[in-house]
Amino acid sequence: MLSNYTNIHLPQYPCVSEQYIYDAVSRILLVHNGDTDTVLSLGFPDSSDLTHYDYFMVFIVFAVSSLTLTWKNEHQARTASNAFFDTALRHLRLALEVTDIQRLQTYLLLAHYANLNPSRADNWMCIWNATRIVLDLGLHKQASVVLLQDEVQEAAFRNKLFWCTYGMERSLSATVRLPLAFPEVSITASHDANWDADTKYASASHLYRFRALETEVHSTLYLQQDTKHRSRADLNSWIGDVIRRLDAWLERATDFSKYQMLEFRMVQYGLLKARLFRPSPGLECRTPEDREQCFNACTILVEDYQRQTKRRRLFYPWHGVHNLFEAAVIMLESCWALRDYEPLKYQARHILAVTLPDCLALLNKVGESWQEATLCSVYLTPILEETSRAYSDRALAQITEDRIAAESITTGKLRKLLFPDGPLLWESRTSSFEPTNEDSATVDIPLSLEPEISTSIQDIDWDAFWEHVQDLSPIWTDIQPSEVMDLLDAS
């Protein structure tokens, strides 16, 4: 389990030292003969230099690693991960004094876990707090002084933490259409030269290159930075340039398959290509050829998720739900826009009959481990039926006034899905948590997500932190999850 994490996942998300984890595990096995429950009840022996933070780091790593092994035995992997996560949180609550760097590592590891198990943790909050620490410490800036020899290694590690945070924050912002936490031009920190070597450790750097491309598309087409005065011809030229760079990225990413890394490269490729050709705030009017590109790109995404599911390796449900939902919306809108366009009617019918049902089936599959995911499928199914009926009506020449009125409603639904009303702001999120009898006290959930930057984890209201649950999509504002799990056991 430890080698699975250090050999495959740590190089892609380098937020902890490999040597530190192995040393911590070795020392933990010597305390109370490796009985970790005894440590919680009796404490540490005088001879031990371990801390609760060390235990937290080991157990959160085990919790992450277990969830990436669901392909072996899903029930066993999830049961083990839940136990590891519970133990990790118990130690975290007892970790009284930590440094800012340790706090940053904590948030990054919890964010990684949240991406794997969003029903138990909130990646929004973790990534936001990690970003604030990065900016507070100035890790996005290149050191302005010459470092001493003993400072070089620490600076290199801090640099890795920054880029790990960058990748997570950029992915979150592009996925849920948030403004960037900090602009690209503010970054002067460089990549470690060793990351570009032909080894598994270069996977992280290559993933950040994709995040930079994703950010460029998000900034241009969705945040509309520097696009208001650009012509359609200029934007088309820019799209062509992005596709060339994206193709080059995919070609290089394929090399990491021998390390079992960048497994979702085809998903990332297909989704970003679909975002380039779908209607967006920066380029709302799209041609039939653009929508054909959307069909092809979304098909790549759905087919790759199907392959991952057959291999039981769809272990990032947070991204899976958002990606599949967005792809489904793009395909539905494209089919709807082309319902009177004869040249692409055959391909559109195939999308409606095969690809979209497959996409919704994948959402239901993810819903087996994350119940809220099924809400996406439930919401989209009637729209799929209405879109399919529009094609049948035209084939049978049954376009009545009632059907025209019904189609007008569907047009409005699809537009709302493409362009949700109102910005997605941190301050606008609300909680669906309702305290249960097991809670020791009423939880006061803060409206602002702006954390207090301190040097101690104990200063954070962890109960309020973990019980703050987010909606998956702006269209769900009236839907409450049926169950919210309390992540911190009452002490």
Least confident among 150-154, 168-172, 258-262, 485-489: 485-489
Helix (H, G, I), strand (E, B) or coil at 283: strand
Domain membership flag for residue 489 = yes
Q: Provide the residue type at 239 as one letter.
A: I
Domain membership flag for residue 265 = no
Burial of 441 (0-12, 13-18, 19+ CB in 10 A): exposed
Least confident among 82-91, 191-200, 307-316, 452-461: 452-461
Burial of 243 (0-12, 13-18, 19+ CB in 10 A): middle
Token representation of residue 66: 């277990």
Number of domains present in the structure of the chain: 1
- Token pair 């054909």 is found at 292
Higher pLDDT, 196 or 182: 182
Residues listed for the chain:
491
Share of the chain above pLDDT 70, in %: 82
Has residue 415 got a pLDDT over 60? yes
pLDDT digits (tens, 9 = 90+) for 189-218: 987 655 566 677 889 999 999 999 999 999
Distance CA 169, CA 181 (A): 8
Higher pLDDT, 480 or 346: 346
Domain membership flag for residue 466 = yes
Distance CA 409, CA 385 (A): 13
Distance CA 379, CA 344 (A): 26
DSSP state of 422: S
pLDDT digits (tens, 9 = 90+) for 296-334: 999 999 999 999 999 888 889 999 999 999 999 999 999
User: Do 418 and 401 meet the contact criterion of CB atoms below 8 Å apart?
Assistant: no
pTM reported for the whole predicted model: 0.84
Residue 280 φ/ψ, nearest 5 degrees: -140, 165
* Buried b / exposed e along 201-232 (16+ C-beta atoms within 10 A): bbbbbbbbbbbbbbbbbbbbbbbebebeeeee
Question: What is the predicted pLDDT for the residue at 197?
Answer: 64
Domain membership flag for residue 416 = no
Domain membership flag for residue 170 = no
Q: What separation in angstroms does the CA of 371 have from each of 120, 301, 381, 483?
A: 12, 22, 17, 8
DSSP state of 280: B
Instruction: Name the pLDDT band for 72 (thresholds 50, 70, 90).
Output: confident
Domain membership flag for residue 70 = no
Residue 126 φ/ψ, nearest 5 degrees: -65, -50
Helix (H, G, I), strand (E, B) or coil at 273: helix
Cα first-last separation, the chain: 29
Domain membership flag for residue 103 = no
- Token pair 């087919």 is found at 303
Q: Give the containing element (helix H, strand E) for 113.
A: helix 100-116
User: Do 484 and 433 meet the contact criterion of CB atoms below 8 Å apart?
Assistant: yes
Distance CA 424, CA 402 (A): 35
Write out the residue range of the structural domain in which residue 468 sits. Answer: 425-491
Domain membership flag for residue 451 = yes
Which is it for the CA torsion 122, 124, 127, 129, positive or negative?
A: negative
